[in-house]
Amino acid sequence: MLPSMTHNAHFIGNQWVSTLSGETLPVLNPSSGEIFARIARGNRADIDAAVATARQAFAGPWGRLSALERGRLLARWAEAILANQDELAGIESTDTGKPLKQARADVVALARYFEFYGGAADKLHGQTIPYQEGYTVLTIREPHGVTGHIIPWNYPMQIFGRSVGAALAAGNACVVKPAEDGCLSLLRVAALAAEVGFPAGALNIVTGLGAEAGQALAEHPGIDHISFTGSPDTGKRVAIAGASHHCPVTLELGGKSPQLVFADADLDAAMPMLVGAIIQNAGQTCSAGSRVLIERAIYEPLLERLAQRFSQLRAGPADLDLDLGPLVNRKQQQRVWDFLSDAQADGIPIVAQGEVVDEAPAKGYYQAPVLLRDVPPASRLWQDEVFGPVLSAAAFDDEDEAVALANGTPYGLVAGVWTRDGARQFRMARRLEAGQVFINNYGAGGGVELPFGGVRHSGHGREKGFEALYGFTRLKTVALRHG
């Protein structure tokens, strides 16, 4: 079903469709820096075709399926994904540079989204509302219609799963524009959707560049809801494009997430999560724990432990399955280098660095993990998302200072708190400005069930969990006067 990796096409109406312009884009393997595939360079005309097909599906066979049937299709899709785990992980790992074990975890998470939303599809219901005598008032949750999904390259399968899984469960037809640097696994996943019986047009994928296919999708008047994950700047462009046709937009725009470590914390439990939260996916994670705030009494000893661990970390080609793989592309590598050279110019001390192994090809996009200390709150390194394996540390003296430092960036996606003090756990959970707060853990193992999203520059709207289903529906109130 899937065309060979060099045969590029969009997935529209359960068919492989060549791009109307005939243009293609090269796909580079981040581990080697070599071209290994080509994808279709979608444009406005391809988006028009995909939206028209989705609209027909919504008005036709897909739109007429019951919630139970939609749920069953999602469950079957999840099974097919798990049955093809090795192939999907291999594609993802080559395409994005993820170590194989991370890519395998992403496949499992994708299937888990479809299991969760498959089970939830027929449990999404409205309410009856007590009103005046002689009335019955009820609410109905209806799908928006055709939803647009702009997916980034850092977790193509997971972010596709959380967004498209919820949208389909709620009864929408979807048009997806994956990132140019991470779309091959999704084309294979789309083929599996057709194989398990999704009606034509329920899911459509147009590949290409953000400024072309992505912008055309966000601007398209036939799109009834947009979900976007990516950078704050592009998020703003997408929101403006959505506003041009009064389309609701959900934005997830990354973060500068802090982990606060108090002197009474269980440091043995914290250590793996302090390190894992920044090196997972080479730091290219929206919820990466990129800042560690440490109570002064344990600042030096904890930094020493972190330094020891950082100096052991190894980056290398995805198939070696080391602690981390390469960054996704040259642009992201340059971005990390820019942050590090600014930090050097500001005199911010590096405490420890990992290594890039000798087997790593010189043209790959590698970056060894770096730990920096005494990072000033006003520095770019403290304020802005690096999206690389770079951990910034700073000391605090009391809760108030910890909260001020933690909340003192434009972002607010996730926060972690490490303390044994129960009252402080709740105080911190209330005072930290973030969409998720983890106490004595971080990231909660993916947390398909847990509503997720940001405040301020981290975006708005919630994905994951049951909450996402509300975002992918619109509420209708029906007031019946029967006397």
Q: Which of 105, 81, 88, 97 is nearest to 36 (CA)?
A: 97
By C-beta, is 11 or 62 nearer to ligand TXE? 11
Q: Which of 389, 392, 373 is nearest to 314 (CA)?
A: 389
Give the footprint of ligand TXE on residues 334-363 (CB under 6 A). 335
By C-beta, is 62 or 387 nearer to ligand TXE? 387
Q: Name the one residue in this structure whose structure tokens are 């080509």.
A: 38
* 188 is a contact residue toward ligand TXE (CB under 6 A): no
* 385 is a contact residue toward ligand TXE (CB under 6 A): yes
Q: In sequence order, what DSSP letters do the residues of 191-239 get, joined into one string?
A: HHHHHHTPPTTSEEE--S-IIIIIHHHHH-TT--EEEEES-HHHHHHHH
Which phi and psi angles does 63 have, rounded to 5°? -65, -25
| Adjacency order of strands within the sheet including 370-372 | 350-353, 370-372, 390-396, 289-295, 257-261, 414-418, 436-439
* 387 is a contact residue toward ligand TXE (CB under 6 A): yes
What residue is closest to ligand TXE based on CB?
Answer: 210
CB atoms within 10 A of CB 358: 6
Count of residues that interact with ligand TXE, criterion CB under 6 A: 25
By C-beta, is 276 or 349 nearer to ligand TXE? 276
Among 71, 148, 254, 326, binds ligand TXE (CB under 6 A): 254
From 59-67, 77-85, 226-234, 300-308, span contacting ligand TXE (CB under 6 A):
226-234
- CA dist 447 and 332 (Å) reads 27
Give the footprint of ligand TXE on residues 133-162 (CB under 6 A). 150-152, 154
- From residue 392 to residue 421, what is the string marking binding to ligand TXE with x (rule CB under 6 A)? ------------------------------
Shortest Å distance, C-beta 27 to ligand TXE: 13
User: CA dist 431 to 85, 404, 410, Å?
Assistant: 41, 10, 16
From 47-55, 225-233, 303-311, 315-323, span contacting ligand TXE (CB under 6 A):
225-233
* 365 is a contact residue toward ligand TXE (CB under 6 A): no
Q: Name the one residue in this structure whose structure tokens are 């708005």.
A: 460
From the list 286, 295, 385, 433, the catalytic residue is 286
Among 17, 166, 238, 327, binds ligand TXE (CB under 6 A): 238
- CA dist 117 and 171 (Å) reads 11
Strands 249-252 and 459-460: antiparallel
The helix, strand and coil proportions of the chain, stated in percent and rounded to the nearest 5, come to: 45, 20, 35
Among 286, 292, 322, 393, binds ligand TXE (CB under 6 A): 286
From the list 252, 295, 385, 433, the catalytic residue is 252
By C-beta, is 99 or 230 nearer to ligand TXE? 230
* 230 is a contact residue toward ligand TXE (CB under 6 A): yes
By C-beta, is 180 or 295 nearer to ligand TXE? 180
What is the b/e burial string over 412-431, where b = at least 16 CB atoms within 10 angstroms of the residue's CB? bbbbbbbbeeeebbeebeeb
Among 92, 106, 180, 323, binds ligand TXE (CB under 6 A): 180
* 252 is a contact residue toward ligand TXE (CB under 6 A): yes
Shortest Å distance, C-beta 133 to ligand TXE: 50
- CA dist 70 and 386 (Å) reads 39
Would you call 212 exposed, middle or buried from its count of C-beta atoms within 10 A (0-12, 13-18, 19+)? Answer: buried
Among 70, 188, 237, 256, binds ligand TXE (CB under 6 A): 237
Q: Is 247 annotated in the active site?
A: no
Name the residues that contact ligand TXE, by CB under 6 A.
150-152, 154, 179-180, 210-211, 214-215, 218, 229-231, 234, 237-238, 252-254, 286, 332, 335, 385, 387
- Residues belonging to the active site: 252, 286
